[in-house]
Amino acid sequence: MPGNEPASSASMMSDGSVSGGSDNLTSENSNKSTSQGSDELVAAVGAHSGEPETGFNPITGWSYSREPLVQSTLFKKDSNGSLIKDLATNYSVSDNGLTWTVNIRDDVKFHDGVPLTARDVAFTFNTAANSSGKLDLSMLDNAVALDNYTVEFKLNDPQTTFIHKLAALGIVPEHAYNETYGEHPIGSGPYRFIEWDKGQQAIFEANPDYYGQKPYFKKLTLLFMQPDTAFAAAKSGQVDMAEIPSSYANQKVDGMKIVSLDSIDSRGITFPMQPDTGKKTENGYSIGNSVTSDPAIRKALNIGIDRQALINGALNGQGEEEFTGVDKLPWGNKEAAFEDGKIDEAKKILADGGWKDTDGDGILEKNGLKAEFTLLYSSNAQDRQALSVALSEEVQKLGIKIKVEGKSWNEIDTLAHSTPVIFGFGTLDPTDLYLKYYSKSYDPSNYNNIIMYNNSIVDNYLRTAITSTDQDTANKNWQLAAWDGTTGFSEKGDATWLWIATIDYLYIMDEDIDIGTPKIQPHGADIFGNILEWKRTGS
């Protein structure tokens, strides 16, 4: 999704083909089955790109910002994050930005042999717009098939970022779509769905009628495993590749290599911006936090923590410092970055803001309120737990107490309006930035502007950016929204979030697997984003 930097090629963790480390795990890998064909791939996935809860249905969230494997998209993104045509052959936009017309290929068939037409495209987008899926299509009024190979999209808001929606939603067949589609998906992509054993695995086979480049791997088996189990499976030779946690970055397995992929997947903590006055959402959930609504707390935390130390400790060094959530992207503002780890300056900010430890317990107070709050993390996310715990320990030196709690997302939903949460975000669609900070984007049913941020100057920058047809103008305004020299959503302005790091994605795989030039990794990982480039060397 387009980034400031090109997608990194797979890089080893040391100068050799296998990462350095003290543990030399050599014996188990000799058990690799020789009956498996060289054009078959078994991959253990879980932490970031694992099993979809609602099945392989793009309308309910499957493949959002990732390669859908089974379905095709109108556009896709190359290894540099630039948009390229997939099903689309051409497109145009009306002068007022409200009508988009897209022409599509006339040689594409679904896996059941039925031709894919503009009706399927219109059906997919209309259905997605009326669903509660991950893709925000609030700007879409409706899509209409003008003929078999032309679809027209009518928008209610001239958002130029709509082009990214055309690359994010896999096309489903109108004739074969129903409530169980996700369990038995039919698409037109490079792989056909074969079977899904829930909680265990999913199997895909190459589509012989695929209109694009034919994949080298004729069969993909995805095993849904927890990270530790996946690494054990790789050690014992049960899988060709596995997604692994950062704690295994220095491990060594004979015949396998550890590959690290840079990402734009940021970890950041929300700061509810309103004080707790007893207000509730329409669902009865508490709104506001009287500690994080104080700008002195937010700024001191941003300035006072040492991000690199957190990355080194909690992530085993597998990540980079992050200051705005979009540092690596074209709309990232370098002027919004700052020097962190400045404990004395952070303490002064707190003192000037009226926070003092009057009872000697090591925790600051202000008007009888303790400088303490709970931080929530998804209970199945190891990296978020590690960062949360490390952060809670580090901020004690500032006189701030953070209690960390792991919760399910259903539980977090009820608490996120009043309690800080460590989230993961990262996409090449700048709409994500708009939804995070635009005051009118708040929606209690999702995480859009969950902090209830409201800055009219920032709003103006965001509106100019999202409706601008000139990319340079758009990027400039995205940047100004972070910091214009006076205000913005970044630490130098309102300090709305505590961004900490962009994480690296680690995989262990057979030495003979060549994954080409991977796409830049978004939130949720897109390891299979360039699957058509993959092959085994020497075969």
pLDDT value at residue 51:
87
Number of folded domains in the chain?
3
Q: Which of 143, 175, 207 is the last residue of a domain?
A: 175
Distance in angstroms (rounded) separating the CA atoms of residues 72 and 147: 19
pLDDT value at residue 7:
30
Q: Please indicate, yes or no, whether residues 308 and 372 belong to a single structural domain of this protein.
A: yes
Distance in angstroms (rounded) separating the CA atoms of residues 243 and 252: 15
Q: Please indicate, yes or no, whether residues 158 and 35 belong to a single structural domain of this protein.
A: no
In Å, what is the CA distance from 243 to each residue of 147, 259, 311, 408, 447?
44, 10, 19, 22, 27
CATH code of the domain containing 61: 3.40.190.10
Q: Please indicate, yes or no, whether residues 417 and 286 belong to a single structural domain of this protein.
A: yes
Query: Can you give the residue range of the structural domain that contains 297?
Result: 266-427+494-503
Q: Please indicate, yes or no, whether residues 101 and 228 belong to a single structural domain of this protein.
A: no
Read off the DSSP letter of residue 174: G
pLDDT value at residue 29:
40
Q: Please indicate, yes or no, whether residues 144 and 160 belong to a single structural domain of this protein.
A: yes
pLDDT value at residue 134:
82
Q: Is residue 486 part of a domain?
A: no
Q: Please indicate, yes or no, whether residues 274 and 358 belong to a single structural domain of this protein.
A: yes
Residues in the chain: 539
Q: Please indicate, yes or no, whether residues 279 and 357 belong to a single structural domain of this protein.
A: yes
Report the amino acid identity of residue 442: Y
Distance in angstroms (rounded) separating the CA atoms of residues 366 and 360: 13
Q: Is residue 181 part of a domain?
A: no
pLDDT value at residue 524:
87
CATH code of the domain containing 380: 3.10.105.10
Tokens linked to 117: 């037409």
Q: Is residue 437 part of a domain?
A: no
Q: Please indicate, yes or no, whether residues 251 and 281 belong to a single structural domain of this protein.
A: no
- Max distance between CA atoms of the chain, in angstroms, equals 75
pLDDT value at residue 10:
37
353 burial via Cβ count (<10 Å: 0-12, 13-18, 19+): middle
Task: Write out the chain's pLDDT in tens, 539 residues.
Answer: 333 322 333 333 322 222 323 333 333 443 444 345 689 999 999 766 678 888 999 999 898 878 899 999 999 988 888 899 999 999 999 999 999 999 999 999 999 999 999 999 999 999 999 997 789 999 999 999 999 999 999 999 999 999 999 999 999 999 999 999 999 999 999 999 999 999 999 999 999 999 999 999 999 999 999 888 999 999 999 999 999 989 999 999 999 999 999 999 999 999 999 999 999 998 899 999 999 999 999 999 999 999 999 999 999 999 999 999 999 999 999 999 999 999 999 999 999 999 999 999 999 999 999 999 999 999 988 899 999 999 999 999 999 999 999 999 999 999 999 999 999 999 999 999 999 999 999 987 779 999 999 999 999 999 999 999 999 999 999 999 999 999 999 999 999 999 999 999 999 999 999 999 998 899 988 999 999 999 999 75
Q: Please indicate, yes or no, whether residues 82 and 161 belong to a single structural domain of this protein.
A: yes
Q: Please indicate, yes or no, whether residues 249 and 298 belong to a single structural domain of this protein.
A: no
Q: Please indicate, yes or no, whether residues 279 and 421 belong to a single structural domain of this protein.
A: yes
pLDDT value at residue 19:
30
The helix-helix angle for 456-467 and 471-482 (nearest 10°) equals 160
CB 120 within 8 A of CB 171: yes
Q: Please indicate, yes or no, whether residues 411 and 271 belong to a single structural domain of this protein.
A: yes
Q: Is residue 104 part of a domain?
A: yes
Q: Is residue 469 part of a domain?
A: no
Q: Is residue 189 part of a domain?
A: no
